[in-house]
Each structure stands twice: as C-alpha cells, then as structure tokens.
C-alpha cells in the first residue's frame, strides 16, 4: 500500500446547502460539511507532511482552477478574500463565458497542506441565490472531472493512495455527458481512485469497496437489484415533467387555492425527482470506482465521514521484531513479536530558530515548502545554592558533579555505567527472546486482576511454515485445555531486565496467534486493606432494577475500541485553530503565554461523558435510570465543618 495519500474534496455550495442541519439547529449543511473537510485535511496533516489535499468548490460565481486560471488570483489568501467579500454582501458576477472550461468552479490546488488552505476553506460560502443559481454551471459532474484531472496531473506515475470525497445534498440540476463521464471514471479506475459520496439528506447508502467490479459493465448504469428506485434508460438528470404529468395536474378554472397548492406540489415533486435521479447517478459513480455512498439523514456529517475515513492522527503502525521462542528445553522456534497497545502522550514541542527574509520579514521556506530552521541546543549550568542566594555565581566544576541515591542519611554515588552494568547482567546469551516457564489455568490468571499492559502479539516466523504451524497448534491446544502460558520476555535488542507475563491463545480470521500480557513481580504489587463492606439487604425488586439498568446501557460489540482520548482531540483542535487563526506576535511572545480563555476556546475540550455514544445510551436508558432513582432515592448530605484542633486542646 502506498505510504502517501492524495485526497481531493468537492464541496457543494448550492443555496440548498444553507438549509439548517439538522432541522431547527444553528448549523447548516454547508457549515457542517466545511467542518468535516477541515478536520479531514487537518488529520492528513497530522499523520504525515507528505500527504496532499485539495478542494473544489461547486456553484461559484468565480472561475479559478488549473484548467482556467484567473488573473489576479495568486494563492489561497486571495480566494479566501473573495469568499469573505461575498459573505459581507458583495454582489456576485456570474461567469457565463462559453469559452471557459468548466466555469463556476473554484479550486484550492492539490498540494502539501498549509495553514493558508485551511483558513481559505473556512471562509467558503454560497455565492449564488435563487435568482442566479439555475444559470450557474459548475455542477457535481464538472467538479468530479476537474478533481480527476487534478489527481492525474499531480500524481500520475507516483505512488499515491488516491481518493475523491464529494459533499452534496444533490438538489441542483446536473448536466451529464455520458461518454465524457465514462472516460473520467475509466481514468479513475486506472489510478485506483475511489469516490466517496457524503450524501446530505440521502435515504440509501451503499459500500462498493468489497464488491468485485464486473468485467462486462457498460457505461455507468445502476445495476443494484436492491435499489428501490427506478433506473432511467440513460444517465441523465433532472428531466422536465412530461406532458402527461402536466395534463394530470390541470385543475378547474378559477380554483386559485387548488392551483397554488398544485404548483407547490409540482415544485416539490420536481425537486424530489432531481434529488432522486442525482442519488442514482452518484450511486452509479461510486459503484464504478469501488467507492461508497454515505447517507447523513440527520446524522453529524463529520461522524458519518469517520466511518469511511477514520481519524488516524497519532496512531502508530506496529513493528514486528524477530524473536526466539523457547517453547520447552531444546525446543526453540523463530517468531515475530509486535506491540499491540501503547499509551500515547502529547508530542513534545519542537524547538528551533526560524530563518526570516531580512527584507520582507517573512519566514523562509525551502523547495518542498517546509520552514527553514536552525537547530538549537540546551546548556545546563549548576551553581552552589547558598552562594547563589547571596548573589555569587559560583559554578560547580564538571569533575565535581556526581549522581547519587539516598540511602538512609547518606548519599551513595552511582554512575551511569553502574546502572548499565545492572542491565547488562541480564543480557544472557540471546538478545530478544520469549521463554516458556510453565502453564497456568486461564480463569485463575484472569480473575487475579493483575494483568498489565501493554499487550504484545506473537505470530510465527515470516520465512518458516513450521514456526507458524507450531504457534497455531500451541494456541489451539491451550485454548482447548483452558490454559495460558507463564513465560519470561526480554523485549530489548541488546538484552536487559526481563519481565514476566501470560501468553493467551487468541483466534482470528487469519488463524491463531498468542497474546502476551505482563504480570507483576511480587515487588510491584501494592498491598492495602479494604474496609469491611456492608452486605446488601435490599429487595429482589432493587436487584432487578439494577440488572435492567445494566442491560439498557450495554455497548455494542467493539465500541470500547473506538473511544478516542478527549485530551488528544482538544490538543489537535487547538493546534488547528491556531494554524487557521494566526496569533499576533505580541501575544505569541508574551512571557506568561496566551490567556487561558483563549486556549479553552481554541481547544473546545469535551470530557468523555459528553461524547455522542454516552448521550445516545443515556437517552435510550432514560426510563431505566428513572426507575433506579425511584428505588434508590438520592439524599443530599451536609458535611459538618471540622473544627481545627490545636496542641493542648485535650489537656
């Protein structure tokens, strides 16, 4: 699989995209779609600096893309300024020049991601209204053609994983040239580029990524037998009502109310037909490219996109290491060891000296678009504390410094080589290894509550079929007997202090493997005493109420694996906000840092209990929660103020 990714987002700005979404909310279809685009681009930026993203805006009065460059538009900042002027009420001039290729489209070039791109996309708005929307070109088919050409021009002959993501409510009329569109789809298939359609207000969705393409498919006709919609004879969209339909809508003369109602019905039917036919067209395009159609009928648009393009920022790909597995005395096989879980921490700040142009004052960038910086170092100096308080800077010489451990009332000097010698004593004959000591009952180990992370995966050797068979057979035997292996693991390449743990047999679709979970040494266990617990003396009804509450709050299988760390989400949101909304240099260089309220506003932190899964479960279990509160009514207790005691009070 290619390491680099190239994604082009297509954003529909037809006036219908300004409708509230969900209904009776302050956000709109367009605002949610923009947020999904910005966060998806930001995620690509977090994952790798080599990923490239672009964005094409449909139904704009201005025309500017790589096939029709407009004079005076130098970068994304100029495009962002255009949208800001439109948002302030500037009258839009609709470009109707027939000689322009694919008019009424604006393109943010497919390139490495910069903060300027995010800022410009955040200002995108609808530049059309009911008076000029129908005369504007730049429909979703035009945007798809321009996006496909941009991917070809930028990534042809290079190793990229390509995607096109379209956000639309499919409520504008589309003009389709079947032969031209088919040629574009053939080109996308050659580039192995899938089309992901995020359909706002769609009823049906389909994922074609796992369906093999038929070799005798002709054109891009919809051939899904499960589709309840009638398929038109050819790929066209938005046909006018037929004469028979018009005749059937004729009412008696003078019946004004009936005529008005019928006009509204015809208009509604026409919009519904446009949306229905566009949905079928998009379903065909997704099927032809092995993509998918995601329906967001009231659901959050960003969450819907996450189902197909999950956020991967901060995730690490597990590396497999060759390891010797000593199953028994004189029985050793080569296996591969990979870490399955690891606690992630916020990345450390990067320190460096940025180079600036002495004339313009702008930061310098190299040919790849990266900032030109100089490395910086840290120099630590040690002074005698007593003399430093007296104002005398008497630095301690290097040959007079030593590290030490406190032992009673003494300090025992220990050097770095001494500590290295302790680890070297455990190196043994081999470097990285797993040694089976014996076997334990699986239930005894699980019920002990002493299992620790991280988890490691043990699979057979890459070049040895016998090794893979041995691991699979051992896992199957342990599973059937209800046993786990008690083993010793040396993780590091150059040997080192070992750890102990349990090897659990694990089944999977690809076969069986072993999973290592660490167990503590006796020195690691913290001994404490629990106070005596009061026995439960309630009724059977109270027990049943608790059982009903638990059943109503059960999570679907696997949902615990999708809980994101809220600290990381707030951190990434803050960085993206700072990138899009540049902080003035005076505030940036303040010694006390930015005000706390500015950071909270940028990060938008949300605790774990505020996420959608918890809200959905709480709503689902509201009746059981009320029943629980009736059985166990809460009582407010007041804590008595503790009176301070002083020496001699009890005398």
CA separation for the pair 181, 184 (Å, rounded):
5
Tokens of 108: 């943010």
User: 160 forms bridges with which residues in the sheet?
Assistant: 4
SS3 category, 519: strand
In tens, the pLDDT along 333-352 reads: 989 988 888 777 777 777 88
Distance from chain centroid for Cα 318: 18
Cβ contacts of 41 within 8 Å, gap of 6 or more: 7, 9, 53, 55, 113, 117, 118, 121
Which one, of 181, 184, 188, lies nearest residue 236 by Cα?
A: 181
Which one, of 62, 268, 34, lies nearest residue 165 by Cα?
A: 34
Cβ contacts of 128 within 8 Å, gap of 6 or more: 13, 14, 15, 59, 60, 61, 92, 94, 136
DSSP state of 561: G
Does the pLDDT of residue 248 top 50, yes or no? no
Phi, psi of 246 (to 5 degrees): -65, -40
- Cα-only R_g, the chain: 33
What H or E segment, with its residue span, contains residue 187?
helix 178-190
Q: What is the pLDDT of residue 589?
A: 60
Fold agreement between 4-246+266-306 and 430-524: no
CA separation for the pair 96, 61 (Å, rounded):
9
Mean pLDDT, range 403-411, rounded to an integer: 89
CA separation for the pair 568, 577 (Å, rounded):
14
CA separation for the pair 194, 160 (Å, rounded):
12
Worst-scoring range by mean pLDDT, 176-180, 265-269, 336-340? Answer: 265-269
Does the pLDDT of residue 166 top 80, yes or no? yes
Cβ contacts of 193 within 8 Å, gap of 6 or more: 148, 151, 162, 163, 164, 289
In tens, the pLDDT along 1-24 reads: 447 899 999 999 999 999 999 887
Provide, rounded to the nearest whole percent, the portion of the chain with pLDDT above 70.
Answer: 78
Cβ pair 233, 208 in contact under 8 A:
no
CA separation for the pair 101, 146 (Å, rounded):
10
Q: What is the pLDDT of residue 291?
A: 93
- Residue for token digits 């891009």? 220
234 — pLDDT class (breaks 50, 70, 90): very low
SS3 category, 430: coil
Distance from chain centroid for Cα 83: 28
SS3 category, 472: helix
Does the pLDDT of residue 651 top 50, yes or no? no
CA separation for the pair 545, 535 (Å, rounded):
18
Cβ pair 320, 432 in contact under 8 A:
no
Cβ pair 308, 432 in contact under 8 A:
no
CA separation for the pair 353, 364 (Å, rounded):
11
Which one, of 250, 128, 188, 212, lies nearest residue 8 by Cα?
A: 188
CA separation for the pair 433, 427 (Å, rounded):
10
- Name the more confident of 255 and 270: 270
- Residue for token digits 């750890």? 499
CA separation for the pair 495, 426 (Å, rounded):
7
What H or E segment, with its residue span, contains residue 141?
helix 140-155
CA separation for the pair 188, 147 (Å, rounded):
10
SS3 category, 369: coil
Which one, of 67, 255, 242, lies nearest residue 145 by Cα?
A: 67
Cβ pair 143, 55 in contact under 8 A:
no
242 — pLDDT class (breaks 50, 70, 90): very low
Phi, psi of 556 (to 5 degrees): -60, 160
How is domain 430-524 classified at the CATH fold level? Ku70; Chain: A; Domain 2 (2.40.290)
User: 161 forms bridges with which residues in the sheet?
Assistant: 5
Of the ranges 315-329, 354-368, 460-474, the best mean pLDDT one: 460-474
- What is the b/e burial string over 341-379, where b = at least 16 CB atoms within 10 angstroms of the residue's CB? eeeeeeeeeeeeeeeeeeeeeeeeeeeeeeeeeeeeeee
User: 490 forms bridges with which residues in the sheet?
Assistant: 433
What H or E segment, with its residue span, contains residue 168?
strand 160-168
**Angle at alpha carbon of residue 25, lines to 23 and 28, rounded to 5°:** 80
User: 568 forms bridges with which residues in the sheet?
Assistant: none
How is domain 4-246+266-306 classified at the CATH fold level? Rossmann fold (3.40.50)
- Domains of the chain, residue spans: 4-246+266-306, 430-524, 540-631
247 — pLDDT class (breaks 50, 70, 90): very low
Does the pLDDT of residue 194 top 60, yes or no? yes
Q: What is the pLDDT of residue 232?
A: 33
In tens, the pLDDT along 410-435 reads: 989 888 778 777 766 665 555 788 99
Q: What is the pLDDT of residue 485?
A: 94
- Name the more confident of 582 and 404: 404
- Residue for token digits 């003494």? 410
Worst-scoring range by mean pLDDT, 140-149, 185-194, 461-470, 562-571? Answer: 562-571
CA separation for the pair 495, 423 (Å, rounded):
8
| DSSP states of 336-365 | EEEE------PPPPP-EEEPB-TTT-PBPB
Mean pLDDT, range 618-630, rounded to an integer: 84
266 — pLDDT class (breaks 50, 70, 90): low
Does the pLDDT of residue 645 top 70, yes or no? no
Which one, of 30, 155, 55, lies nearest residue 105 by Cα?
A: 55
Cβ pair 306, 284 in contact under 8 A:
no
Which one, of 521, 522, 519, lies nearest residue 504 by Cα?
A: 519
95 — pLDDT class (breaks 50, 70, 90): low
Which one, of 128, 141, 152, 140, lies nearest residue 62 by Cα?
A: 128
Does the pLDDT of residue 319 top 50, yes or no? yes
SS3 category, 557: coil
User: 503 forms bridges with which residues in the sheet?
Assistant: 485, 516
CA separation for the pair 66, 108 (Å, rounded):
9
Q: What is the mean pLDDT of the chain?
A: 79
Q: What is the pLDDT of residue 289?
A: 92
Does the pLDDT of residue 260 top 70, yes or no? no
Does the pLDDT of residue 556 top 90, yes or no? no
Tokens of 353: 């000296």
In tens, the pLDDT along 499-553 reads: 899 999 998 877 889 999 999 998 888 877 666 667 777 888 888 999 998 888 8
In tens, the pLDDT along 576-608 reads: 888 877 766 666 666 666 777 777 777 777 666
């Amino acid at each position: 699989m290619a390491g680099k990714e190239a994604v082009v987002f297509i954003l529909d700005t037809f006036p219908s995209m300004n409708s509230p979404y969900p209904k009776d909310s302050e956000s709109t279809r367009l605002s949610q779609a923009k947020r999904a685009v910005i966060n998806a681009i930001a995620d690509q930026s977090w994952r790798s600096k080599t990923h490239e993203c672009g964005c094409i805006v449909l139904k704009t009065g201005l025309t500017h893309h790589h096939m029709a460059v407009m004079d005076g538009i130098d970068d994304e900042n100029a495009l962002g300024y255009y949208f800001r002027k439109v948002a302030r009420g500037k009258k839009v001039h609709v470009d109707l020049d027939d000689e322009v290729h694919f008019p009424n489209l604006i393109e943010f070039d497919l390139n490495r991601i910069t903060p300027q791109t995010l800022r410009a996309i955040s200002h995108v708005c609808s530049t059309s209204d009911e008076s000029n929307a129908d005369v504007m070109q730049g429909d979703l088919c035009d945007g798809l053609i321009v996006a496909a050409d941009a991917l070809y021009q930028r990534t042809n002959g290079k190793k990229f994983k390509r995607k096109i993501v379209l956000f639309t409510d499919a409520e504008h009329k589309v003009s389709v040239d079947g032969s031209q569109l088919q040629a574009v789809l053939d080109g996308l298939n050659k580039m192995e580029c899938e089309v992901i359609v995020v359909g706002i207000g769609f009823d049906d969705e389909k994922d074609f990524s796992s369906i093999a393409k038929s070799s005798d498919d002709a054109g891009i006709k919809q051939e899904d037998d499960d589709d309840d919609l009638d398929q038109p004879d050819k790929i066209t969209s938005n046909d006018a009502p037929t004469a028979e339909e018009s005749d059937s809508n004729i009412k008696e003369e003078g019946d004004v109310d009936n005529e008005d109602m019928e006009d509204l019905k015809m208009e509604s039917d026409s919009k519904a037909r446009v949306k229905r036919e566009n949905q079928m067209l998009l379903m065909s395009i997704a099927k032809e490219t092995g993509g998918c159609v995601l329906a967001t009928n009231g659901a959050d648009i960003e969450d819907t996109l996450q189902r197909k393009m999950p956020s991967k920022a901060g995730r690490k790909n597990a590396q497999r290491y060759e390891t010797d597995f000593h199953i028994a005395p004189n029985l050793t096989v080569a296996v591969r060891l990979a870490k399955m879980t690891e606690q992630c921490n916020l990345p450390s700040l990067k320190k460096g000296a940025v180079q600036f142009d002495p004339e313009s004052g702008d930061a310098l960038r190299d040919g790849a678009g990266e900032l030109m910086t100089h490395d910086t170092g840290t120099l630590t100096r040690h002074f005698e504390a007593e003399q430093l308080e007296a104002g005398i800077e008497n630095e301690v010489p290097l040959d007079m410094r030593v590290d030490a451990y406190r032992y009673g009332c003494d300090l025992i000097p220990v050097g770095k080589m001494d500590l290295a010698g302790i680890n070297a004593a455990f190196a043994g004959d081999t470097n990285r290894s797993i040694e089976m000591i014996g076997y334990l009952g699986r239930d005894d180990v699980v019920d002990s509550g002493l299992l620790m992370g991280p988890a490691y995966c043990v699979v057979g050797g890459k070049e040895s079929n016998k090794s893979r068979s041995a691991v699979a057979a051992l896992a199957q035997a342990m599973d059937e007997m209800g046993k786990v292996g008690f083993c010793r693991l040396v993780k590091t390449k150059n040997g080192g202090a070992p750890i102990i743990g349990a090897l659990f047999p694990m089944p999977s679709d690809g076969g069986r493997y072993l999973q290592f979970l660490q167990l503590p040494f006796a020195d690691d266990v913290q001994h404490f005493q629990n106070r005596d617990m009061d026995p439960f003396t309630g009724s059977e009804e109270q027990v049943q109420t608790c059982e009903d509450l638990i059943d109503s709050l059960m999570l679907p299988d696997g949902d615990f694996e999708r809980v994101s760390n809220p600290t990381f989400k707030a951190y990434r949101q803050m960085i993206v906000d700072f990138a899009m909304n540049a902080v003035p240099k005076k505030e940036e260089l303040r010694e006390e840092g930015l005000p706390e309220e500015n950071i909270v506003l940028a990060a938008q932190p949300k605790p774990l209990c505020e996420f959608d899964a918890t809200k959905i479960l709480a709503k689902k279990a509201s009746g059981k929660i009320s029943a629980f509160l009736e059985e166990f009514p809460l009582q407010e207790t007041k804590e008595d103020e503790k009176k301070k005691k002083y020496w001699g009070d009890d005398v």
